Amino acid sequence: MRRFSLLHPLWMAFYDGEIYEDVARFWRNRVFLYLVLLLALTWIPVTIQIQNQVDEWVSREAPFYIDQVPDLSLSGGELSTSSSAPTLLRDRDGTVMAVIDPTGRYTSLDDTEAPVLVTKTRIFVRGEGDQVEVSTLPDGPPETLTREDLYVIADWTRSLVNTLLLPVLLVLSFAYRLLQAMLFAYVASFFTASTGGSLPYRTLLNLAVIAITPAVVLDTVHVLMESPLPDWFWWPACVVLSLGYLRFGIRVTLESEQRSAA
């Protein structure tokens, strides 16, 4: 009979072998519901952080940039603006980020330090090694982009992030963590056999889901605290940690089965 609820592995997975034994014996499909719960709880603070950052950018930074942009009209592959002079888009430090000039004053990136230049018919983008990519403006039906349109796009982006970010992250991370647990369970089947014991793959999968709990929780803390640990170190460390807990869970489960058999 199951002794622990869906919440118990959130902390017991760090130190208590009883939760691994309980999961191996009684949880079955319940472990997938736990994985959804784990990911939801860990993504919520990260989602709130991202939403706050987007909201702050839309409220404070977006107007600074949008107000520099003139009304843009594109017709027949040719650009025109509401300004009679070239428009230099600058960041907060005053550095020119892009030049919009259908007047012909700027004809190439040699005339400016900006990485992007939009002329009447072409777009110039400076790449690595000062290589410049040139593309022509699309030849389509007349279109106009105003500052009001840009404010609408900014607000729409904020609403989209507030509405869809958490569900998207949850679905993608569930697929990733499930595949990870399946791989860990497959790897574990080899060192389980080497110990002289045997566990079904499905049991190993359930144990693997619990075993990744510490890594998932610590990874969330790592993201929220903006830890300086580099990815090349952090990701392998999480893998080793998860496999270590999985080995621990397997050992506890095998020992429990041996006691029951005796």
Buried b (16+ CB within 10 A) or exposed e, 239-258: eebbbebbbbbbebbbebbe
How many residues can be counted in the chain? 262
Taking CA atoms, 122 is separated from 68, 97, 108, 119, 134, in Å, by: 20, 17, 10, 5, 7
- Euclidean distance between the first and the last CA atom of the chain, given in angstroms as a whole number: 20
Q: Which of 22-26, 138-142, 206-210 has the lowest mean pLDDT?
A: 138-142
* Cβ atoms of residues 203 and 24 within 8 Å: yes
Residues 191-242: pLDDT tens digits? 776 666 688 999 999 999 999 999 999 999 999 988 778 888 999 999 999 9
Q: What value does the mean pLDDT of the chain take?
A: 92
* Cβ atoms of residues 14 and 243 within 8 Å: no
> Residue 97 pLDDT more than 90?
yes
Give the C-alpha separation, 96 to 93, whole Å.
9
* pLDDT for the residue 259: 74
**What's the rounded mean pLDDT across residues 173-180?**
97
Residue 147 CB neighbours (<10 A): 16
* pLDDT for the residue 194: 63
Give the C-alpha separation, 162 to 244, whole Å.
37
Its sign, for the CA torsion 233, 235, 238, 240, is: negative
What DSSP designation does 109 have?
G
Give the C-alpha separation, 38 to 9, whole Å.
9
Buried b (16+ CB within 10 A) or exposed e, 86-101: bbbbeeeeeeeebbbb
Angle, alpha carbons 144-152-100 (nearest 5°): 45
Give the C-alpha separation, 125 to 132, whole Å.
5
Helix axes 201-211, 231-261, angle to 10 degrees: 130
* Confidence band for 71, pLDDT divided at 50, 70 and 90: very high
